[in-house]
Structure 1
Amino acid sequence: MKRATAPNELMSTEPRLYRVVSARIEELIREENIQPGERLPAERDLATKLGVSRTSLREALIALELGGVVEVRGGSGVYVSEQATPKGEGAAAGPGPFEVLAARRLIEVEVAGLAAKNATAAHIDAILVAVEQMEQHHEHSSDSESADRNFHLAIARAAGNSALTGVVEYLWNQRGTLWHKLKEHFQTEELRQQTLPDHRDILTAIASHDVAGAKAAMRNHLDRVTRTFSRG
């Protein structure tokens, strides 16, 4: 009798979409003989040519940049790297940043609703502390990111379901090299400023035990981040 394939085995063998797209971009570079230092087609044209979404393309380009194949120049475009050989750094084997954002939107919106329903005074205090830390350190990337993580995990704990806390923590742990390179290229001061009131809105709704308001505020926040990182 054939043994059933375990879910984790499927996850380990299924190719990440951004890796598939990355391979197609490398093939296009070879086929069209795009030389080092030359510019690739614009993102919109390249996405159409390959038949993929802009977000999948952007993940693939970031992965190729980490591998030393291309160079992303803000405001100018994407160029084949001048390096004779790839740097060999590569991207981690985890999910792409837009995959993670989509999963977070699915999970954390519902978690925020549960937090609004179940949060105790102690839970609300923990969320407030994280918000105040983000506001205090918003100009310092590492401190702000740590406070942001604490904020979302405090909400997950307030939901009252340890399994969901584990899921939210797992998703945050997927913010690897691809995520940070994407953030480096597309994070803006406007986004940093706008996410501060976003977090306050989420806190206010949870503290008021407003389930619908908490879900809407979390959805608006994650949608804002996704729009900013995917716009071109």
Structure 2
Amino acid sequence: MDPIKKIRLSESVITVIKQMIAEENFKPGDKFYSENELTRKLQVSRSSIREAMRMLEVTGQVSVKQGKGIFILDANGEQFKAFSTWLKNNEQSIKDNFEVRLIIEPKAASRAAENAEEKDIFEMEEVCAKFARFAAEKNIEEVIQCDRRFHCILAGATKNVTLHVLMKSMTTTLPNGWISSLYTPGRVEKTVNEHGDILEAIKKKDKTGAENAMTRHLVNALHDINKEIKNQSKEKLS
């Protein structure tokens, strides 16, 4: 297996791991390579491997069992069950993620409306277009990458270096909010419109409008996640 190029690393790791599973004939129930083995084989950091495994676990393709290893699942039969389990197991960290984002991102959107340059607007327009295209293709992994990219570009448009670094760090090391939101039914389509509202306010230099649009976006996402968690709890009781 050739080393992975650094460009679009997180997506590349997921793609290559899927290829390994298929080409090396791993079957549901088989134990997969360990994190250390994957790090050596793919020549990427352990954090990149863990992020890829988190995504593959959410989509029901692998099960990561603490102290035991990584096991292959039947993706066709396990996807919804896997997301339901992951969502419940990560409920508190998801809420913590959104609590922090609600403190930071509405004000960031306001500052972006004040300070964004033409190149920032162009980059946000470009990533919104890609988001919509991948949403139509139901390519959820690429949708999540576009979502992270949109929020990072917006943070960069504030021209506050600390804020930009903080947002980049959050999207890399605390991805649960992005994953949980965009795997929640109906959330991708809503996000297309909500990102559009945020971008339009920034283009108009409407600080209050941008702040309000970001607040609505995050509140709506958290509401839909909480609704999904409650629905899953009801299904288990019935």
Contact in 2 for aligned 1:104/1:168 (Cα 8 Å):
no
Once residues 180 and 155 of structure 1 are traced to their aligned partners in structure 2, the CA distance between those partners, rounded to angstroms, is 15
The aligned length equals 148
- Answering whether residue 222 of structure 2 is matched by residue 223 of structure 1, we say no
Are 1:122 and 2:119 an aligned pair? yes
Over 3 Å counting, the alpha-carbon distance change for 1:181 and 1:121 in structure 2 is: closer
Partner of 1:156: 155
Q: TM-score, normalization: structure 1?
A: 0.56
Q: Distance in 2 between matches of 1:105 and 1:151?
A: 16
Shift in Å, 1:174? 3.2
2:104 pairs with 1:107:
yes
In terms of fraction of residues, the more helix-rich structure is 2
Runs ≥4 residues deviating over 6 A: none
Q: What's 2:189 paired with?
A: 193
How far apart are 1:118 and its partner, in Å? 0.4
Q: Displacement of 1:129 after TM fit?
A: 0.7
- Residue 182 to residue 217, structure 1, CA distance change in 2 (3 Å): closer
Shift of 1:180: 7.6
| Letter aligned with residue 224 of structure 1 | N
Structure 2, unpaired ranges of 5+: 1-57, 67-79, 231-238
Contact 2:147 2:178 in 1 (8 A): no
Q: 1:117 to 1:179 in 2, by over 3 A?
A: closer
Identity rate, percent = 21
Corresponding position of 1:53: none
| Shift in CA distance, 151/103, structure 1 to aligned 2, threshold 3 Å | same
Alpha-carbon distance in 2 for matches of 1:182, 1:107: 19
Name the SS for the 1:96 alignment partner: helix
Contact 2:144–2:179, Cα closer than 8 Å, also in 1: no
Which of these two proteins has the greater Rg computed from alpha carbons? 1
